[in-house]
Amino acid sequence: MYSITSSKMKLPQALLVLLSASMLAGCFEARKNTDQLCEQEPSLNCAVLNTSDGQCRIPRTNLIWHRYEMMKAPSEANTIEDYYLLKEYRKCLELASQIQPIEQADLKARRFEALMYSINEQERVTKSLSSSTSPDTLYFLWSETGDHTARRRFLEMEGSPQLDTAELQYALATYYISRDKNKTYQLLNRSLELSSGGKTVNKDVIKALASVTQSLDQPQQSFLWAMVAKQFDIPIASDNELRLMFNLDDSEYDRLRSQANTVAKAIKNGSYSPNLSR
């Protein structure tokens, strides 16, 4: 139903030169500060991250600074963030390790060593979290690593206050999507109900509601959520395609568009109630 489907202003040449110079200075400054941090904090073990390599500088810098913050504020959430930053660095290294260096014969070997380090670190992180009882951590282990024990422990919490958050109701919905469409619909609605709106709105919930209601053969509901999705700049089918898909009366289209305005406004304000979409 949905497909993830600008004008450019030209800056004066002098301004472009200034911008380029300032950006370049910023890059050197960030590199200098990171080098200083690595010298001041030997426990960061920056050498294993191949800091002298020009490739993968941004994900490597992000990882180093995050690990510095973790030293001051260790938590499971920060450990999970460490995993994702390692993942980004690893992806970059996998590409960089394929580049044949010209000037330094041992550069490729150092990149490979850094790649193996990132892989081993991801494994270490997941092991360090394996005994967690946090539902967020259990969902991370299940969704990211396929840990069946974590999935079982997560699902055992269903119905408890621990899972009654916008994020975790959506997490539950991802489990039931292929098992129970009606339950999925309820969980997605609950996720929106618990959302505080604004930038916290999970657009995937809205897309899923349009898809699930279509699977449940509820054309009015599916069209309603398609119109809500449009208000969140989610690409949808054209009006003609939607008409062919749903085959509703013109008056029904108008009513549902008006209802979609109300629903979208409530979601954005963090005041959504499932009654609004019925």
* Helical pair 239-246 and 219-231, crossing angle rounded to 10 deg: 160
Question: What pLDDT is recorded for position 52?
Answer: 85
Cα 8 to the center of its chain, rounded Å: 28
For residue 103, what pLDDT band results from cuts at 50, 70 and 90?
low
Pick from 208, 223, 206, 185: which is nearest to 267 by CA?
Answer: 206
Residue 102 has pLDDT above 60, yes or no: no
Mean pLDDT over 248-264 rounds to: 96
Mean pLDDT over 245-260 rounds to: 94
Amino acid at 26: G
Query: Between the CA of residue 40 and those of 44, 45, 50, 216, 241, what are the distances in Å?
Result: 9, 11, 17, 59, 61
For residue 105, what pLDDT band results from cuts at 50, 70 and 90?
low
Question: What pLDDT is recorded for position 53?
Answer: 86
Q: Is 157 exposed, middle or buried (0-12, 13-18, 19+ CB in 10 A)?
A: middle
For residue 54, what pLDDT band results from cuts at 50, 70 and 90?
confident
pLDDT tens digit string along 193-247?
A: 999 999 999 999 999 999 999 999 999 999 999 999 999 999 999 988 998 999 9
Question: What pLDDT is recorded for position 126?
Answer: 97
Residue 260 has pLDDT above 50, yes or no: yes
Question: What pLDDT is recorded for position 150?
Answer: 97
Question: What pLDDT is recorded for position 104?
Answer: 65
Token pair of 196, please? 């505080």
Query: How far apart are alpha carbons 110 and 48 in whole angstroms?
Result: 9
For residue 86, what pLDDT band results from cuts at 50, 70 and 90?
very high
> In the chain, what percentage of residues exceed pLDDT 90?
77
Residue 15 has pLDDT above 50, yes or no: no
pLDDT tens digit string along 139-177?
A: 999 999 999 999 999 999 999 999 999 999 999 999 999
pLDDT tens digit string along 26-49?
A: 444 445 599 999 999 999 999 999
Question: What pLDDT is recorded for position 101?
Answer: 60
Residue 3 has pLDDT above 90, yes or no: no
Q: What are the structural domain ranges in the chain?
A: 37-157, 159-277
* Listed range (70-84, 98-112, 208-222) with the worst mean pLDDT: 98-112
